[in-house]
Amino acid sequence: MKRSTLFSGAGAIALSLVTLIGCSSTKPTVDAPSSTAPAASASSSDSGAGSSTDASSGAGSEISSESAGAASSEGTSSGEASGSSEASGSSEASGSSEASGSSKASGSSEASGAAPSKASKDYKLSFIQGVTGDNFYITMQCGIESEAKKLGVTVNTQGPSKFDPTLQKPILDSVVQSKPDAILIAPTNVDAMQAPLAAAAAAGIKVILVDTTTSDPSYSASQIASDNTGGGKAAFDAVKQLAPNGGKVLVVSVDPGISTTDARTKGFQDAAKADSKFTDLGVQYSHNDPPTAASIVTAALQKDPDIVGIFATNLFAAQGSATGIQQAGKQGKVAVIGFDAGPDQIAALKAGTVQALVAQQPNTIGVDGVQQAVLALDGGKNTAKIQTGFSIITADNVASTKDAYVSKC
């Protein structure tokens, strides 16, 4: 595929990206490392979502942010029996592996017991996704189901059709009525889901927050999420390398009030504003709707045809942004950095409409979530906060990466 001047010298850009941020995926510095467990084998090629092409474009090689994956813990380790574990979550479903940049972090087993090897009873767990059909949450579900089976507990999964608290709250209310032992949930709004989740915890249900959080998560036994601010900064660093002369950049996000995407936006915009070569055009919201994201990008390029970079903060925003680039006839002229790595995003990367993807570790988040739920139910000491890392997928490593999300377990 013909490249524009902006993306010429792919090898040089690849080298500079590696030099800038690192040569492998994140290495969380942790008091409590993120744990791992084998998950159901699945490949991103299982999904029919998005057609893939063999054309390779973009630049860069596998990189990771300096700040990515910095894990914090207010409690104790959720590592394996030795108290340490592979922080990037090596499993086939999540895709993390040493080859793709997984890292190991050690934790202190003296501070707490190791991750449970078996639950004391068959607890009933419920996983409430942020939205159904999202490969990120499907991959997380794979980790949850695998770890639940390993620990001998039962889990059911459900979620709203849109990332919307008005749709998620009735599902939560119904789940609470069924009286599960624990709920793993990705809250769809920091404020709207605060009271119902606090009420669930007050009813004696252990609450584990996975991916997103609420304004005051003190009711939860544990919070598990990516280093989203670091991921946003890494996305800007990738744009900076692809457009070294600077220029205008735009963020396409979901909706305000979502903890993860707000943090990604902040990480990106703070980095952009600190670099005088770049002009931050702000953030526009696609409401988790790819066609809306496409319209935003098409209109933005009509108004500012000299945009050099777009940061799409989640899977659907990236999908729509790639479409908008094509509709505007700007393929190969605008650097698009997407957050998340579903089949559609991998296809867009191979096609050259997206130049890099920030891949989270949803399988690992799911595994850790089940472990923290069982610890809470069996009277163990929980890790109050766990941050997982991420890796960068580019045209140079997309063929070999195992960090792509899956469409089924």
Write the pLDDT tens digit of every residue in 251-305: 999 999 999 999 999 999 999 999 999 999 999 999 999 999 999 999 999 999 9
Query: Three-class SS string for 218-258?
Result: HHCCEEEEECHHHHHHHHHHHHHHHCCCCEEEEEEECCCCC
CB 335, CB 355: distance < 8 Å: yes
Query: Three-class SS string for 324-371?
Result: HHHHCCCCCCCEEEEECCCHHHHHHHHHCCCCEEEECCHHHHHHHHHH
Please state, in angstroms and as integers, the Cα–Cα distance from residue 323 to each residue in 11, 251, 318, 330, 332, following that order.
26, 15, 9, 10, 13
Fill in the amino acid letter for 361.
Q
Please state, in angstroms and as integers, the Cα–Cα distance from residue 243 to each residue in 3, 75, 391, 404, following that order.
13, 42, 21, 25
Tens-digit pLDDT profile for the chain (409 aa)?
A: 333 333 333 333 333 343 333 333 333 333 344 443 333 333 333 333 323 323 333 333 333 333 333 333 333 333 333 333 333 333 333 333 333 333 322 222 223 447 889 999 999 999 999 999 999 999 999 999 999 999 999 999 999 999 999 999 999 999 999 999 999 999 999 999 999 999 999 999 999 999 999 999 999 999 999 999 999 999 999 999 899 999 999 999 999 999 999 999 999 999 999 999 999 999 999 999 999 999 999 999 999 999 999 999 988 898 899 899 999 999 888 999 999 999 988 988 898 878 999 999 999 999 999 999 999 999 999 999 999 988 889 999 999 998 999 999 9
Measured in degrees and rounded to the nearest 5, phi and psi for residue 222 equal -165, 150
pLDDT of residue 115: 85
CB 219, CB 197: distance < 8 Å: yes
Local structure of residue 96 (DSSP, 8 states): B
The span from the CA of 157 to the CA of 339, in Å, is 24
pLDDT of residue 152: 98
Measured in degrees and rounded to the nearest 5, phi and psi for residue 155 equal -135, 140
Give the global pTM. 0.69
The chain-wide mean pLDDT, for the chain, equals 78
Note the Cα 172 to chain centre separation in Å.
22
Write the pLDDT tens digit of every residue in 136-180: 999 999 999 999 999 999 999 999 999 999 999 999 999 999 999
**Closest to 295 (Cα-Cα) out of 246, 272, 328, 267:** 328
Estimate the share of the chain in helix, then strand, then coil, as percent rounded to the nearest 5: 35, 15, 50
**Closest to 237 (Cα-Cα) out of 262, 272, 261:** 272
Please state, in angstroms and as integers, the Cα–Cα distance from residue 16 to each residue in 189, 220, 227, 275, 285, following that order.
38, 42, 23, 17, 31
Rg, C-alpha atoms of the chain: 20
CB 239, CB 58: distance < 8 Å: no
- Residue that has been written with the tokens 């190969």 in this structure: 332
The span from the CA of 8 to the CA of 242, in Å, is 9
Instruction: Tell me the β-bridge partners of 101.
Output: none
CB 70, CB 373: distance < 8 Å: no
90-127 burial: b if 16+ Cβ within 10 Å, else e = bbbbbbbbeebbbbbbebebeebbbbbeebeeebebbb
The span from the CA of 365 to the CA of 360, in Å, is 9
**Closest to 235 (Cα-Cα) out of 176, 168, 309:** 309
Instruction: Tell me the β-bridge partners of 385.
Output: 223
Local structure of residue 138 (DSSP, 8 states): H
**Closest to 131 (Cα-Cα) out of 312, 311, 317:** 317
**Closest to 71 (Cα-Cα) out of 231, 225, 208:** 225
The span from the CA of 406 to the CA of 43, in Å, is 6
